[in-house]
Amino acid sequence: MRKLTVGLLVLFTFSAASLADETRTNVIFLVGDGMGVSYTTAYRLYQDDPATTEVDRTIFDDMLVGMASTYADDHSLVTDSAAAATALACGVKTFNGAIGVDSQHNPVDSMLDKAKRLDYLTGIAVTSQVNHATPAAFVAHADSRQSYDKIADQYLDLRINEKPKVDLILGGGQAHFIRKDRNLIKEFRALGYSYESNIKNLSRIKQLPAIGLFSKLGMEPALESSNPLRLSEMTEKSLDLFHNAAKKNPDGKPFFLLLEASQIDWCGHANDIACAMGEMHDMAITMIIIKRFIDKNPNTIFVATADHSTGGLSLGAKGQYQWNASNVKSISATGPDIARQLMANKSNWRTVWQTLTHIKLADDEQKTLDAFINQADENASDINVSQVGTQVLAYIDKYTATGWTTKGHTGEDVQIFSYGKGKQNFSGAMDNTDIAKKLMNYLNP
């Protein structure tokens, strides 16, 4: 067994006193994008110490309460992140690609809309662009998730009581908020929002409203980031800001917070197991931070789920009755990052490979990889990275016995995790729209 390290997140400032308003419940909703059941099993084995016989439980095991179906309203039975996000945000089934609109393309209210109308404090913290499909469905309305600039505009332009809907916005997406045709950050500042552009300066955000966009598009993958626990850090900051705001306000406003471990899905699309486990670790630490907050502020409900699964991840592949968790644990970079580093060190790529993966390749495999690396041109174009990266990931899958069935999503049910006030409401089998409806019932005048 191994104790999870919470990294540098030791400055835990929540006071023992709970938030002032005991009649209204805080709601924290965390989406693990693409996090099917095999991801939480893989994470349990990944974080376990192989030196001991028993497998340690994870925070996912401790909070597991139910299962949810995820299908979209378009007969495909396999949802995309937009339709699933609209289901989770608004309680409405819709077509793939839809952001906050129903099957007839009519805008529908999200739980964040409801919370804001009831004068809750509201926040979003994600590791993708803040206007990516999942968070977008809580704020915006669009027929296409690809309308990124239009969706970003709505974060400022759609108002409730004359103010933007979201008091705290943390994640990536500078490219969509600071554009030639419009500088939304300037406009947010004019409305009293503070702005930070570097996650290292998260501590500079002292009060609401605030916006922090820490990358042009999505934030760096956990395995490539100098802040691998960035969702955990943003979550801790959000809870701290809400807690302090409630303390200052004599009425004590409750809050609604949407969190997303956005990039589990991206690692799944890339069929990159080490990448996925890096994101899972950030999500697990995020849940530990939330649990600590709720233990001190019990008037809070927390629900986590996935919007769908991605990649058809299997533990064991090609007939093998085996999954080599410790080999996954030894890999310290994503497939594309390993490829880039191998191509940048052509003369001693074997040493670099060994350092980054700890996997010993057979002679013929070394020859194959050597040929790919040496064919790549000096400036390592994206095509070269993807060619070498594909071979790298094939060897990682082979030596970890990891399987994938698709580069897309899959339609099986996903888990529901809950903690706090009335967590039993989320137990058993339900549809993803039921999760939204039940959470909306917590939001009251």
Residues that bind Zn ion (CB under 5 A): 265
- Name residues whose C-beta falls within 8 Å of residue 310's C-beta, 6 or more positions apart in sequence: 33, 34, 36, 264, 265, 268, 269, 408, 409, 410
DSSP state of 68: E
* Range 198-201 contact pairs with CB under 8 angstroms and sequence separation of 24 or more: 199/227, 199/230, 199/233, 199/234, 200/227
CB of 84 to Zn ion, least distance (A): 9
- For the bound state, the minimum distance from the C-beta of residue 310 to Zn ion, rounded and expressed in Å, comes to 5
* Cα separation, 126 vs 149, whole angstroms: 18
Q: Is 424 exposed, middle or buried (0-12, 13-18, 19+ CB in 10 A)?
A: exposed
Provide the β-strand partners of residue 194. Answer: 210
Q: Report the nearest approach of Zn ion to the CB of residue 35 (Å).
A: 11
Residue nearest Zn ion (C-beta atom):
265
Check whether the bond before 445 is cis (ω within 30° of 0).
Answer: no
160: exposed, middle or buried (C-beta count within 10 Å: 0-12, 13-18, 19+)? Answer: middle
Q: In angstroms, what CA-CA distances link 362 with 80, 140, 243, 397, 398?
A: 39, 52, 55, 14, 12
- For residue 387, give the amino acid letter: Q
Smallest gap from residue 266 Cβ to Zn ion (A): 7
Is 263 or 300 the residue whose CB approaches Zn ion more closely? 263
Q: Is 81 a catalytic residue?
A: yes
Q: How far is the CB of 354 from Zn ion (least distance, A)?
A: 32
- Catalytic residue, chosen from 18, 38, 81, 309, is 81
Cβ nearer to Zn ion, comparing 113 with 265: 265
Q: Which helix (H) or strand (E) holds 389?
A: helix 382-400
Structure tokens of 63? 């909070």
Q: At 304, which helix (H) or strand (E)?
A: strand 300-305
Find the shortest distance in angstroms from Cβ 133 to Zn ion: 8
Residues tagged active-site: 81
